[in-house]
Homo-oligomer: A and B are copies of this chain.
Amino acid sequence: MKNKSLLSQYSIRKTRPRLQIISVIGKFKNRHFSVEEVLKGLRRGKSKVSRASAYRAINLFSQKGLLRPIDLGKGFLLYERASQKSHHDHLYCINCGKIIEFKDQSIEKLQMKVCRKKRFHPKSHTLRITGLCKECL
C-alpha cells in the first residue's frame, strides 16, 4: 500500500486518520491546499476525522518533512508535498489568487550572506511577492 509506506518512509506512525488524510492530499496533485480543504475532502469521502486530528496530522507531516507550509499572508497556511519539488518562493496574484513558483539561487545566496553578516542562523525563509499576474493587468 503506497500511503502506508509513505508514512513509514517519514517515520510517522500509521493510523487510520493519517492514512485517510494522505489519501485526500494525494487527490490535490500539485495544488496547494489548506487544512480546511483537507477536512472538506475527508467529509466528502465520508471519512470522519476530527478537525483536531487533521490539524495535528498536518503539523506532524510538516515537522517530519513530508509537507511544506506556504505562507501567502492570507491569514492561514497552505501546504504542498515537500518531495515533489525542492524549495522555491512565490509570486502571488492579489486579483485571481494564482501562485507562480520561482527559484533563484542568487537570491538565496544573498540571503545567506545577509545572515552571515548579522551572525544570524537561518532555519527557514519566506519570500513572497504580491501583485498582479500578466493575465490580470
Residues of A within 8 A of B (CB): 71, 73, 75, 91, 93-94, 100, 102, 104, 106-107, 110-111, 114-115, 118-134, 137
Which residues of B lie under 8 Å from residue A107 when comparing CB positions? Answer: 107, 110-111, 114
Residue of B whose beta carbon sits closest to that of A129: B125
- A12 CB to closest chain B CB (Å) equals 23
Q: How far is the CA of A133 from the CA of B111 in the complex (A)?
A: 15
Which residues of B lie under 8 Å from residue A128 when comparing CB positions? Answer: 125-127
Given contacts A71-B73, A107-B110, A110-B110, contact A131 B127 (CB under 8 A): no
Q: Are A123 and B119 in contact (CB under 8 A)?
A: no
Q: How far is the CA of A39 from the CA of B6 in the complex (A)?
A: 48
